[in-house]
Amino acid sequence: MGIKDKALAFGRRFKLDSHHAIERFGVFFGVFALTGAVVIGGSGASALKANSDSLSHTALYTQQFTTSKTSLKGDVDGVYTNEQGSKALVMMHFPANAPISYSAADYQAFLLGSDKNLNSQAVETSGIRGSFYVFGSTGYVGVLLDADRPFAQQVLNLTLRANAELSHDERKQDKGRADELAGDASFDKYDQWRVFFNPGAKETTEIPALDAVNFDPAQAYYDIVVHKEEETPRQELDHKLIAMRANLAQIQAYTSDLETTKVDGLFLRPPSVPEAIADDAVTGSSASESQDGEATLALETEHTVPDGFDFDWREGNVYDGYLDDLVPSGQSYVEFLAKKRAEGSDGVSQQISAMQWILSDGSNLRSDYQSSDVTMRPLTNVMNNLSQAYQSYAKTKSEYQSDLLLGLLRLDVKLRDVQSNSSVRDDSEVLTTLY
């Protein structure tokens, strides 16, 4: 039996054909030859001609897809491999809160090979085992392919089928056959989409999760999704540390001005500083200052803002987790975070505004003199500069400990969803491959 006959028999057996197989192939390849692209089975997946790119380099030919019956749109994040090139993970995601099943048991896949014109042919790589993963409630799904040897440089046609339809697109009723160009009746009968990719290409991305002895979906999700998301708050944390260091330098300079700025022998005594910020310091170097380009800045403080956190984010990461070291024994992280949200402000800003500015003769600069008194302007300027420096530092510290560190903890919680609620289907029926 020839390759074409095998493809047709495969299609009939697994309901990927129509009742007019010859017309299907004729229409499919005729349209493809004219346009250089094809809309397949109502999936909305765009596939580039393999021979218009370098087969050895291009890993992904489908960037977006639309499911054939429920019209749910999604994106293909990429093709990820291990160092040896014998494992490949095709990662996809639907929008947040999309009505999809979070159970991997509700999905299956079909794998065919393609030639340079995306004509169906046998898969060249032998011994492929497949598994379908749903990454918690994140909207991410993936197909893991594990072969006996490194994948050949071949474009593969992966059809994904959702056997549980949790939504209905009434507009499809007025469109007739959405897959007339491809002529594939299975896309009318089942909710499906297709992805064209080449796991043997050089442009695949290697991730540590695929080199581990046992595949951990949480690690894969971290490698692909969370690691990039984690970079933004980490960069912002560094920026806040630089800003706080500058604020503290201003405070030191303006405090020195208290001793040197005088009006007719009068000078301001150092004010009583709120305990929450009194002994704070920023130590270490920024990336531009260090010889190896690695930032070591850190906030040294004895006080954490009420709804904030204090932990060594630089030496840790979201995959290793932060919450385990923060949550008190006997308390869940849900309770811990809820309690933090309920904490009120410590009123540092109000305390700074209420600081007493006492002159060397015991009088009060604010209450005993008019703000318009030009004779006291030098002392008023010193007072305002120092007060503003304290306010700026307190605000930046609150943003650092509350907003940004909480952002890292939110990613920790997000990853815990994947750790706790991911599901996998890895039985012999999950992937059907044409060899």
For the segment 340-374, what is each residue's pLDDT rounded down to a tens digit? 999 877 789 999 999 999 999 999 999 999 877 88
Element housing 239 (H / E): helix 227-260
The pTM of the full predicted model, rounded to 2 decimals, is 0.82
DSSP 314: T
With CA atoms as reference, report the closest residue to 409 among 341, 331, 343: 341
Query: Which positions of the chain have pLDDT values less than 70?
Result: 1-54, 167-183
Helix or strand run (H / E) with residue 33: helix 21-35
Q: What is the pLDDT of residue 372?
A: 77
pLDDT at 4: 53
Look at residue 37 in the predicted model and tell me its pLDDT. Answer: 36
Q: Beta-carbon neighbour count of residue 76 at 10 Å? A: 21
pLDDT for residue 39? 40
The DSSP letter of residue 74 is: E
Using an 8 Å Cβ cutoff, are 369 and 377 in contact?
no
Closest by CA to 74, choosing from 218, 191, 175, 228, is 191
Q: What pLDDT score does 42 carry?
A: 39
**Residue-level pLDDT at 43:** 40
